[in-house]
Structure 1
Amino acid sequence: MTLQKTSHNFTKIAFKPLQTNLFNIVLISFFLTMGGANLYSQDISKKTTAITVKKQAEKSSSVIDKKSTSISDLKKETDTITKKDTIKPKKAFLDGKVRYKAAQYAKIDQKKKLITLYDQAELYYQDVELKAGIIVLDYEKNEVYAGRIKDSTGKYAQYPNFKQAGNVVEPDSIRFNFKTQKALIWNSRTEQGEFKVKAQITKKENDSVYFLKGARFTTSKNVDNPEYYFQTSKVKFIPGKKVITGLTNMVIADVPTPIALPFAYFPMTKETNISGIILPSYNDSNTRGFSLQNGGYYFALNDHYDLTVLGDYYTNGSYGMRFESSYAQRYKFRGNINVRFENLISSERGYPDYSKQKIYNIQWSHSRDTKANPNSSFSASVNLGSSKYFKQSINLANIGSNLNNTLSSSISYSKTFQSVPQVRMSLSATHSQNTQTESINMTLPTLQLSVDRIYPFVGKDGIKKGFFKNINLQYNLNGRNTITTTDSLFFKPQMFRDAKLGVQHSIPLSTNFKLFKYFSASTSLNYEEVWYAKTIERSYNTEQSAVVDKIVSGFDAFRTYSFSSSVGTTIYGTFNFGEDKKIKSIRHVMRPSVSYGYTPSFEKYYDTYASDASGTITKQYSRFEGGIFGAPGISNSNTLGFDLSNTFEAKVTDKDSTKVEAKKIMLLNNLNLSTSYNLDADGVTALAWSPVRVSGGTQLFRDKMNVNFGATLDPYAIDNSGNRISMYNINNGGSLFRMTSANMTFNYSLSSKDKDEAKKDKNEQSQRNGGREDDLFGANTVLNDTRKSQFDGAEEEGDDKISEFFSSKLPWDMTFAYSLTYGNNNREKKIIGNSIMISANTDLTPKWKAGISTGYDFVQNGVTFTQLRFERDLLSWRMDFNWTPFGTNANWGFFIGIKSGVLSDIKWDKRSTNTLR
């Protein structure tokens, strides 16, 4: 349990005793009435005035001044009798102004020294605000009493509300002494942080000590009828510091439980970051024995960063450690770091299934506020570690991460130099890890530098128009240090020895211009220079009877150049069907373009080597092969490219009859076709045409369904071995094109929530680990955060919803994904992939939530990953159950506990352990 001090504010109340000039008033009244008249006060209702007493020589009764004045001012007002009186007047009753009002009446009884306010009574003095059905102020005893009254139906109403500074008490009645600052409160109700407290009798001893009798503590919203509470007979409460109780017993549904403590101590403070112990949870495993998980300590270091240390221990010797820290500084940066390590032992030493391994995972997320420095930025998103961590971890049940096969990281820094021309620089490090093959690819680091475009032929007017004035040049630098390794060699010396270093310089010279008014043309000439720190020397090794590459360390470089040009236009076509039609018109937009590219041969960078022992067979190679930026080409590249993109829109009659304009809908977002032709191909033995690639996509059902498709069409036939031949497919007895592959995907999302709420990301931790944002792969369950609901808003349901009938509208959402892949490279005409996945969440009742994630693979004829989720809202408590019934990730988990963070460790959490981990 994290020991937290609940926030309270109690302000000291400083009242000074005040007394009216009663001696003078009584003496004058005696002489005027000769002892034979009675003295009455005048009743005036609804007066928001200060309490004053003014002597009037003409009348025997006192009146209430309509102005809010201090009674202490009355010392200045004297008569002829008081001047002769030798008795000194007493000190005034109150130092400040008293304001009051009441709906029915405000009565002053000077004989009994009482002021009575009835019905919606309010009394204000300094930092004290008192509201109640009835308020009685005894200005002789320096006390005030406030209570409730009965309404017309005979029920009690207008309970007192006593507010002093930031502290509020709502009792049945209250008695308070202004002089001693002591108070007696009956059936008080107050909030102390997340706790709601009700006590039969509360005694305020002084400004800093309170005693409670017959008190109950709860986090329930209804303190008078809570679903659970802690009952104690005696409580000592020191505001802002601590609460100490006697024998404390937990009561659930008004039934006492065996859960009891001889005493309890609750530290309370206004501070939000409080260090404290985190109690572990109990679990057991068939392979590792009994365990304590997620126990540790929370360090509230300061306002800018904290640290959580958590640990697990199993009786067979397995253990785990986690360090989690968050940091932030306003208008500068924010981030968090998670370091996880586990030492896993399976079975017992000496048994054949005994194994021992160490796994780890490091996550770091950092972002800098743009206000800190607009000319530079720094960000980090790191997720690296053992490839088997998420699959074998004994602590995390993170399904989205278990099913993901890739971990990736990126750290980048960029800066813009405000020079002329402007210079931009970026420095980054990347990491990509395949958890199946355990291969790791990294760039440590990548340096990119670019100089802004320079227009050398632009005049002083700055107008860039035409072929000549649009000529511009740039300078780009790209330097990389790449490393390819595996888990076993990660951060070992061999990993750095195998690193590849390269620097690429490029200077593009380009221009763009209009051609025949309707065509946009561009042309560019690109010069590149590549530097390498390592090259290869290839030869035949007689001892090994194989061709080997020898690494040659030292600076080497090659230089290339290329030319490209393109021309394109936009064609609009509209098909009108009539204004009286439902579909008024369809608009077709085509963007055709033709490009040309030429790269000469760079044979000078190629050498020959003997490929056999006799040395008679020689082959060509480049010493730059295997480099980061590749090697220069040995043959000419002289190609024409053809691209055509299409979009289709329609104007339809709007269902809303009040709208005059037609409604625009998108029929096809894009339909793209692309291919190329090799001009250097002889047309007999070479394959001049490349396959035609077709891709497209659209959105249906009010943009709720995304549809994407693609296909590859090959104009050439294949031989019996499946190799492409220089014969068109139509000439070989086939169709014009041979479909070699095709794919189609559907993604459909429905929700009863608003569109903005439906877009709210789920599975944030899964996304960080490389998984999906939806729950098609299941909802994540992190064992060290079991208080978090699996469904959005589960902890924010209002109590009013429980009164709704079952047939009323209940929230739900559904995600649907379908994928189909077709393969026909070698005339197999085979469906390679065909699967469907569905995820749905709904409220079975206003307090019962359920969800399911499942799917089916039609190729392998099996059910894909399936997870069932159930949750019950128990007001102050929450209960959930999730179950993966089959597969390599089969497991189940049950949790019930208090929602409040103060009592989050009062829970029962039981989860199965996957024996494959």
Structure 2
Amino acid sequence: MTVQKTGHNYTKIAFIPLQTNLFNIVLVAFLLSIGSFDVCAQEIPKRNSPIPIKKGVVIPLDTVKKSAKVVIDTINNPIKAVVKDSIPEKKTFLKSKVKYKADNYVNIDQKKKLVTLYDKAELYYEDVELKSGIIVLDYEKNEVYAGRIKDSTGKYTQYPNFKQGANEVQPDSIRFNFKTQKALIYNSRSDQGEFRIKAQVTKKENDSVYFLKSVRFTTSKDVDNPEYYFQTNKVKFIPGKKVITGLTNMVIADVPTPIALPFAYFPMSKETNVSGIILPSYNDSNTRGFSLQNGGYYFALSDHYDLTFLGDYYTNGSYGLRFESSYAKRYNYRGNINFRYENLITSERGFPDYAKQKIYNLQWSHSRDNKSNPNSTFSASVNLGSSKYFQQSINQANVGSNLNNTLSSSVSYSKTFNSIPQVRMSLSATHSQNTQTEVINMTLPTLQLSVDRIYPFAGKDDIKKGFFKNINLQYNLSGRNSITTTDSLFFKPQMFRDAQVGVQHSIPLSTNFKLFKYFSGSTSVNYEEVWYAKTIERNFDVDQGAVVDKTVNGFDAYRTYSFSSSLGTTVYGTFNFGEDKKIQSIRHVMRPSLSYGYTPSFEKYYDTYDSDGTGTISKQYTRFEGGIFGAPGLTNSNVLGFDLSNTFEAKVRDTDSTKTEPKKIMLLNNLNLSTSYNLDADGVTSLAWSPVRVSGGTQLFKEKMNVNFGATLDPYAIDNSGTRINTFNIDNGGSLFRMTSANMTLNYSISSQQNDKNKNKKDDQTQRNGGREDDLFGRNTVNNGNVSQFDDDGEDPGEDVISEFFTSKLPWDMTFAYSLTYGNNNREREIIGNSIMISANADLTPKWKAGISTGYDFVQNGVTYTQLRFERDLLSWRMDFNWTPFGTNANWGFFIGIKSGVLSDIKWDKRSTSTR
């Protein structure tokens, strides 16, 4: 009887678990062989004594039985024998499957337990991805080695790329232990957020801690040849959280600088809402001394809102405080609120130019998503504060805000009640502030309430067609609390004492109809009732010797009614010139309309007063004068109005011969004429015809130039004092109409590229303060808020492009505006306004940009606001220079700093003090 030889495929597997009991197994097999021959051969007499066993060798019965079973099972089924082996298998170090491949060869050395992958080798194990020129896997030591290889020219290629989870490293070589998860990495290169890190030796302790030696880190795109970097010898690096370094020195163009820190801490959290300190910037002023600006703290309060506190301090005692907060809730609302306060001290106490003042500015923007509640809306756009804030602020140099003369605000809430009929309500507060006169007009608040139209002569499902079925009525209510005050009285008791309160009710009854098929008509009767909380009483005061108005507090009201009607149509006309002509046809559309309005005299609301104290001269007045909804009229208003609007459009043959359809071109977007005739004019106090107003607009040069014009034409002549008289101008030796005023504006924007990404970059701060989107007023130069002229999202042109001589088309853009105003009310025939403004930007080189905003006023004979801009892209850095050479806003500013937001505090920002 012989033992079957184990197959080749199972040799390695079968004998590993059998090595431990080899002696026992051989012995048992021998005994079993003897036993089998004993059964098949002749009889042997029984022995009274057992067979002696060799001293020192003891085989337990259980072991013999189990070993025998193993041998039998091995003979019959080698695989099954291994499965049922009582000896525990030795666990391998690999917890999951290893995948690998290589282009050149894969060599497996079972004796040394090595797997070698060569040329474009790849290895994947759990969350580890390794790609390299050569990879050696030692599955006995649980380690993997990876390195680069040389190509045919002797140059190193196929550098390792090691990726584990979200961390990726690109070293020269790497040694990694699968069991301990530790690694040694040589000349590693990795990206962590905005940082690019290179270290000679990196020791990976675990998934969350790395120790680096001889390290340079930078935000430059090329970590091997950066334009700047920070050099340090020891670094503790926690991916996605922080970098802690020892002695750190800043190196620019491979030249060490005196800028050094004994240690450094760089947060690298991927979280967007992280609280932290905001480092201030240094500046100095001729009038306020040295300063630290824009230092403070950022509070990440929650996922829905935050708070930024910033402050400025000058050595002469001036200081500024700013609170900025943004908030948002998805599909509900979003907004931001900014409050700025500054205590300004000029010069020193005791000097004649010493001055002290307090200025502030509040801005609030809020918008609500319509999806959150379709039946109600809430919005806010607030910009109020000291009139001279943007002119005198120590931290603001906002061009648009500085040149704008008006601050305005609006907060509104509206709600629709789904009743029958439907009711709409809105509550709003407005504010308008003239920064030159410092006059403030506010409504706190205004209530608007309207009930939807009711059609009393039409059923619920009837088609509203015809005069009677279209008759409808509404109810409108408007309540207003109006305040006019100044900066000095803002939110003081007198401001509220001078408020004007009123409520206006109106019930319009109207209908519309078709007349002779081609005419559309409408007619309406309107009833109004106005309530006031205070009126006036006018008398001649003997003590003062003048007419004075006395305020009478108490409820009072007046009621008026009026009638109006209109009739209009649309007339089309086409002039055809032939399909073989360049201009094939011109289409003219006219929309004439005739209107009539009548409002009777309400003399019953008028009283008389003695104008000179003698009782001989009496004048009429109404106690409702000065009310926010006006006063009832004293004379009849019986006016017939006429309006004509025109549009002109042409069809021209397309220059593209492949197109069969002609191209449409708008010649005039609009050409409007309007006037009116007073049927009750007496020719003395009032003239029948009102001046004719002409206005129009068009677009030229492929819709790049907008042209708008207007003129006022008066049919009446004037006397030597400039008063209109009841004599037509043509009867006084003049033309049919006397042009009393005219204006024209041109706006033209061109660019060397069809789609210029950098053109008219939006500045929310300038827009909110009433500035322009374009650069005609210059670019915003708020400290720490400069807008780069470069497109930061664009690709780096690279060394190859930069090295070439810059002979390509010069990228540029230009905005042009021209304004002309003519005045001739009293035959002065003067050009009241005549100015031109130009803003231009150009790429002098791929890395240099320049811009200018300027203009000229031909009436004042002077140059308008002028700004020169230069900017240099220094790869990881940015440098710009802004200069306003003359005027009350003359100043200059120089900035150089790192682009990256992580290192934005590494900069030098120097700005002159404005001469204003």
Corresponding position of 1:793 = 791
Cα drift, residue 95 of structure 1: 2.2
Matches within 5 A, 1:564-603: 564-603=564-603
In structure 2, give the amino acid aligned to 1:203. K
Cα drift, residue 270 of structure 1: 2.7
The answer to whether the 8 Å contact 2:241/2:270 transfers is no
1:154-211 deviation line (CA, Å, top 9, x unaligned): 3222111111111111111110111222211111111122111111111112343321
Corresponding position of 2:782 = 782
Cα drift, residue 238 of structure 1: 2.9
In structure 2, give the amino acid aligned to 1:712. T
Aligned mates of 2:405, 2:172 — CA distance in 1: 63
In structure 2, give the amino acid aligned to 1:867. Q
Cα drift, residue 222 of structure 1: 1.0
Confirm or deny that 1:96 pairs with 2:96.
Answer: yes
In structure 1, give the amino acid aligned to 2:166. G
The answer to whether the 8 Å contact 2:890/2:915 transfers is no
The answer to whether the 8 Å contact 2:649/2:665 transfers is yes
Corresponding position of 2:506 = 506
The answer to whether the 8 Å contact 1:283/1:911 transfers is yes
Cα drift, residue 882 of structure 1: 0.2
Corresponding position of 2:37 = none
Confirm or deny that 1:494 pairs with 2:494.
Answer: yes
Corresponding position of 1:515 = 515
Confirm or deny that 1:24 pairs with 2:16.
Answer: yes
Aligned mates of 1:26, 1:862 — CA distance in 2: 105
Corresponding position of 1:881 = 881
The answer to whether the 8 Å contact 1:763/1:772 transfers is no
Corresponding position of 1:722 = 722
Cα drift, residue 89 of structure 1: 3.8
Corresponding position of 1:106 = 106
1:533-554 deviation line (CA, Å, top 9, x unaligned): 1111111110111111111111
The answer to whether the 8 Å contact 2:578/2:585 transfers is yes
Corresponding position of 2:750 = 750
Aligned mates of 2:472, 2:404 — CA distance in 1: 45
Corresponding position of 2:298 = 298
The answer to whether the 8 Å contact 2:889/2:915 transfers is no
Corresponding position of 1:147 = 147
Aligned mates of 1:684, 1:608 — CA distance in 2: 22
Would you say how many aligned residue pairs link Structure 1 and Structure 2?
A: 851
Cα drift, residue 658 of structure 1: 1.5
Cα drift, residue 639 of structure 1: 0.8
User: SS of 1:437's equivalent?
Assistant: coil
Corresponding position of 1:806 = 806
The answer to whether the 8 Å contact 2:439/2:485 transfers is yes
Corresponding position of 1:385 = 385
The answer to whether the 8 Å contact 1:685/1:726 transfers is no
User: SS of 2:512's equivalent?
Assistant: strand
The answer to whether the 8 Å contact 2:370/2:377 transfers is yes
In structure 2, give the amino acid aligned to 1:409. S
1:258-309 deviation line (CA, Å, top 9, x unaligned): 1111222223323222211112111111111111111111111111111111
Bigger shift: residues 79-88 or 648-657? 79-88
In structure 1, give the amino acid aligned to 2:103. A
Aligned mates of 1:88, 1:329 — CA distance in 2: 60
Corresponding position of 1:770 = 770
Aligned mates of 2:84, 2:330 — CA distance in 1: 71
Matches within 5 A, 1:88-487: 89-487=89-487
Bigger shift: residues 759-768 or 134-143? 759-768
Corresponding position of 1:56 = none
Question: Structure 1 residues 245 and 114 mapped into 2: Cα distance closer, same or farther (>3 Å)?
Answer: same
Question: Structure 1 residues 429 and 684 mapped into 2: Cα distance closer, same or farther (>3 Å)?
Answer: closer
User: SS of 2:827's equivalent?
Assistant: coil
In structure 1, give the amino acid aligned to 2:473. L
Matches within 5 A, 1:631-780: 631-683=631-683, 686-755=686-755, 757=757, 761-780=761-780
1:731-788 deviation line (CA, Å, top 9, x unaligned): 11111111111000001111234458577653321111111111111100110324x4
Aligned mates of 1:255, 1:23 — CA distance in 2: 66
Aligned mates of 2:154, 2:369 — CA distance in 1: 61
Aligned mates of 1:84, 1:272 — CA distance in 2: 57
User: SS of 2:522's equivalent?
Assistant: strand
Structure 1: 5+ residue runs without aligned partners?
1-19, 31-75
1:850-870 deviation line (CA, Å, top 9, x unaligned): 110000000111111100000
Corresponding position of 2:850 = 850
In structure 1, give the amino acid aligned to 2:181. Q
User: SS of 1:717's equivalent?
Assistant: strand
Corresponding position of 2:41 = none
User: SS of 2:401's equivalent?
Assistant: helix
Question: Structure 1 residues 395 and 87 mapped into 2: Cα distance closer, same or farther (>3 Å)?
Answer: same
Aligned mates of 1:419, 1:842 — CA distance in 2: 60
Q: TM-score, structure 1 length as denominator?
A: 0.90
Cα drift, residue 224 of structure 1: 1.2
Moved >6 Å (runs of 4+): 25-28, 80-87
User: SS of 1:224's equivalent?
Assistant: coil
In structure 1, give the amino acid aligned to 2:453. R
Aligned mates of 2:264, 2:348 — CA distance in 1: 42
User: SS of 1:391's equivalent?
Assistant: helix
The answer to whether the 8 Å contact 2:531/2:558 transfers is yes
Question: Structure 1 residues 86 and 25 mapped into 2: Cα distance closer, same or farther (>3 Å)?
Answer: closer
Instruction: Determine what percentage of the aligned residue pairs are the same residue.
Output: 83
Corresponding position of 1:67 = none
User: SS of 1:627's equivalent?
Assistant: coil
Cα drift, residue 872 of structure 1: 0.4
Q: TM-score, structure 2 length as denominator?
A: 0.90
Question: Structure 1 residues 684 and 302 mapped into 2: Cα distance closer, same or farther (>3 Å)?
Answer: closer
User: SS of 2:784's equivalent?
Assistant: helix
Aligned mates of 1:586, 1:612 — CA distance in 2: 66
The answer to whether the 8 Å contact 2:822/2:829 transfers is yes
In structure 2, give the amino acid aligned to 1:188. S
Choose 1 or 2 for highest CA Rg. Answer: 2
Aligned mates of 2:571, 2:156 — CA distance in 1: 80
Aligned mates of 2:640, 2:534 — CA distance in 1: 35
**Root-mean-square deviation (Å):** 2.2
1:368-403 deviation line (CA, Å, top 9, x unaligned): 111111111101000000000000111111111111
Matches within 5 A, 1:517-596: 517-596=517-596
Structure 2: 5+ residue runs without aligned partners?
1-11, 23-75
Bigger shift: residues 354-363 or 793-802? 793-802
Structure scoring higher RCO (CA < 8 A, sep ≥ 6) equals: 1
User: SS of 1:776's equivalent?
Assistant: coil
In structure 1, give the amino acid aligned to 2:796. G
In structure 1, give the amino acid aligned to 2:791. G
Aligned mates of 1:557, 1:609 — CA distance in 2: 21
Aligned mates of 2:270, 2:315 — CA distance in 1: 40
Bigger shift: residues 458-467 or 77-86? 77-86
Aligned mates of 2:689, 2:83 — CA distance in 1: 123
The answer to whether the 8 Å contact 1:794/1:873 transfers is no
User: SS of 1:783's equivalent?
Assistant: coil
The answer to whether the 8 Å contact 1:324/1:338 transfers is yes
Question: Structure 1 residues 484 and 713 mapped into 2: Cα distance closer, same or farther (>3 Å)?
Answer: same
Bigger shift: residues 755-764 or 824-833? 755-764
Cα drift, residue 27 of structure 1: 8.3
Corresponding position of 1:9 = none
Cα drift, residue 805 of structure 1: 4.6
In structure 2, give the amino acid aligned to 1:423. V
Question: Structure 1 residues 764 and 813 mapped into 2: Cα distance closer, same or farther (>3 Å)?
Answer: farther
Corresponding position of 2:613 = 613
In structure 2, give the amino acid aligned to 1:504. Q
In structure 1, give the amino acid aligned to 2:124. Y
In structure 2, give the amino acid aligned to 1:556. D
1:46-99 deviation line (CA, Å, top 9, x unaligned): xxxxxxxxxxxxxxxxxxxxxxxxxxxxxx995699799997542223121111
Corresponding position of 2:27 = none
